[in-house]
Amino acid sequence: MAKQGEIVVGLDIGTTKVCAVVAEVKGGVAEGGRLRGDEFSEIEILGVGNVPCKGLRKGVVANVASTTESIRQAIEEAQNMAGVEIRTVFAGIAGSHVRAQSSNGVVAIASNEVTRSDVERVLENARAIPIPTDRQILHVLPCEYLVDTQDGIREPVGMSGVRLEVKAQLITAARSCVENVIKCAERVGLTVADVVLEPLASAEAVLTEDEREIGVAVVDIGGGTTDVILYVDGGIVAANVIPVGGMSVTSDIAAGLRTPMAEAERLKHARGCALGRMVPDDEEMEVPGVGGYPARRVPRRVLADIIEPRVEEIFAVVRRQLEESGYLEQLSAGVVLCGGAVLMEGMTELGEEILGMPVRRGYPVGTRGLTDLTHGPQFATAVGLARYGAQAIFTAQAREDEPVVVPASKADAKAPGTTSDRPGFWGWIKAAF
Ligand SMILES: Nc1ncnc2c1ncn2[C@@H]1O[C@H](COP(=O)(O)OP(=O)(O)OP(=O)(O)O)[C@@H](O)[C@H]1O
Ligand SMILES: [Mg+2]
């Protein structure tokens, strides 16, 4: 059944860069159909294209032409490196237009034993709720299934019963933002197999099964957004996108040190620290002037004192969201940080102080091949998108291999509302996540 050798491409269209990761599906489906991210290697990275992008604002496409051009370059780079032609991609989406809400679905089990088709129908049922016409459903993410009176089920296929229920998180996004992502990719001649919530992809790349079980939050601090996703008991319980990231830190440095933006960015990378007290008092650095003013020497501590309040503010918003979710106490595995901004010294230390729990940096796992090109928290989304694609292919295969079952009964129908806007093969893949 396994589709070994299949090519999957993750396309992360970020606020500062476009990153395309071409990978070959290697196999390795763990229990419950989920790919394993620890000792198993399921995708082999064949090529990576990483180019700057200026077409987005706070995670949302704001300039189609320049975003398209960055995608073209990234795809070309990845294609040349991998030696394969790229036609289909799994693209990421973020931005503060993304929302998560709870939804339940319930169906009668067609033949006394739950099949994948029953699972598909119950997820379809969970997505059949009215949503405004300017929004669309991105994902129906199952938290738990219930078969008759038994709850807490992760993988219901094969269980006996007459009634299947799902408690799910519905992720919705502004239709126009999704369409713009697809439009940019299509202008380069690509087909978008799926548009995937970026923190979901990042989590796919950096988390272990144990962390998901124990309870964990992934916080991806990129250039323009900070994406948050929460896992408790193995399922997603909340997700959010905050429209602030590392670019705000750079702007603060440029204003605070009166230096050009490019110099502020360079100083942040080379000398930045998120926690002022970690910087020795005697360290100095040269700060180029702006508008004809000469360069001057400034204590490095001054730079850290500019960075710290902004990063503190970002973590404080994250903390508030964790509290408001009601799951703060259940995040025993703490927080995994990814995104380029977390490369800065002091990020995990400040994160632990503000969030009050263990914090680690998340590096993509579960890959082999050209892993040195994607070994960094800033590549979590692109690698995760490729892994998501591999997972989608496996799950779709598993479904195709399953015998056809009795179709849904009328009794399953919900009150009239929105039904799936993505029927067919990929529509099913969408519903499975
Ligand atoms: N070594 C470093 N030290 C500090 N900041 C860094 C470092 N490397 C990258 N960054 C910052 O990381 C940010 C980019 O991260 P990333 O590539 O994850 O963002 P993105 O995916 O393009 O944006 P987004 O996800 O917000 O749409 C930039 O603000 C950049 O300045
Ligand atoms: Mg990003």
Instruction: Tell me the per-residue pLDDT of 291-312, one tens digit each, with 9 for 90 and over.
Output: 889 999 999 999 999 999 999 9
Q: Is 300 part of a structural domain of the chain?
A: yes
In this structure, the residue with its CA closest to atom 19 of ligand 1 is 222
Q: Is residue 246 located within the same domain as residue 276?
A: yes
State in Å: Cα 16 to ligand 1 middle: 7
State in Å: Cα 405 to ligand 1 middle: 48
Q: Is 150 part of a structural domain of the chain?
A: no
Distance CA 382, CA 94 (A): 13
State in Å: Cα 324 to ligand 1 middle: 27
Distance CA 129, CA 120 (A): 16
Distance CA 396, CA 246 (A): 37
pLDDT score, position 279: 97
Of 268, 336, 375, 379, which is best to mutate to test ligand 1, by the most ligand atoms within 8 angstroms of its C-beta? 268
C-alpha R_g of the chain: 22
CA-nearest of 296, 298, 294, 359 to 331 is 359
Write out residues with Cβ below 6 Å of ligand 1: 14-17, 59, 94, 222-225, 245-247, 250, 265, 268-269, 272, 339-341, 343-344, 378
pLDDT score, position 110: 87
pLDDT score, position 428: 42
Find the CATH number of the domain harbouring 315: 3.30.420.40
Boundary (domain end) residue, out of 345, 362, 379: 362
Distance CA 98, CA 251 (A): 25
Q: Is residue 336 located within the same domain as residue 378?
A: no
How many CB atoms are located within 10 Å of the residue 6 CB?
17
Q: Is residue 348 located within the same domain as residue 382?
A: no
Q: Is residue 72 located within the same domain as residue 186?
A: yes
- Bridge-based pairing of strands 226-232 and 235-242 is antiparallel
Q: Is residue 387 located within the same domain as residue 271?
A: no
Distance CA 276, CA 105 (A): 50
Q: Is 218 part of a structural domain of the chain?
A: yes
Of 11, 267, 300, 378, which is best to mutate to test ligand 1, by the most ligand atoms within 8 angstroms of its C-beta? 378
CA-nearest of 388, 401, 367 to 432 is 388
Q: Is residue 279 located within the same domain as residue 322?
A: yes
Residue with tokens 């319980």: 237
Boundary (domain end) residue, out of 319, 347, 362: 362
Q: Is residue 199 located within the same domain as residue 233?
A: no
pLDDT score, position 4: 59
The separation between the first and the last C-alpha atoms of the chain, rounded to the nearest angstrom, is 20
Boundary (domain end) residue, out of 362, 397, 419: 362
Q: Is residue 374 located within the same domain as residue 357?
A: no
Q: Is 178 part of a structural domain of the chain?
A: yes
Q: Is residue 342 located within the same domain as residue 382?
A: no
Q: Is 163 part of a structural domain of the chain?
A: no
Q: Is residue 309 located within the same domain as residue 224?
A: yes
Query: Which residues in the chain come in under a pLDDT of 50?
Result: 1-2, 30-33, 35-41, 405-433
Q: Is residue 76 located within the same domain as residue 181?
A: yes
Half-sphere exposure of residue 31, counting CA atoms within 13 Å on the CB side?
6
Q: Is 139 part of a structural domain of the chain?
A: no
Helix (H, G, I), strand (E, B) or coil at 273: strand
CA-nearest of 255, 266, 267 to 304 is 267
Least distant ligand from the CA of 384:
2
Please tell me the total count of domains within the chain.
2
Q: Is residue 220 located within the same domain as residue 305?
A: yes
- Residue 49 structural domain: 1-97+174-208+365-433
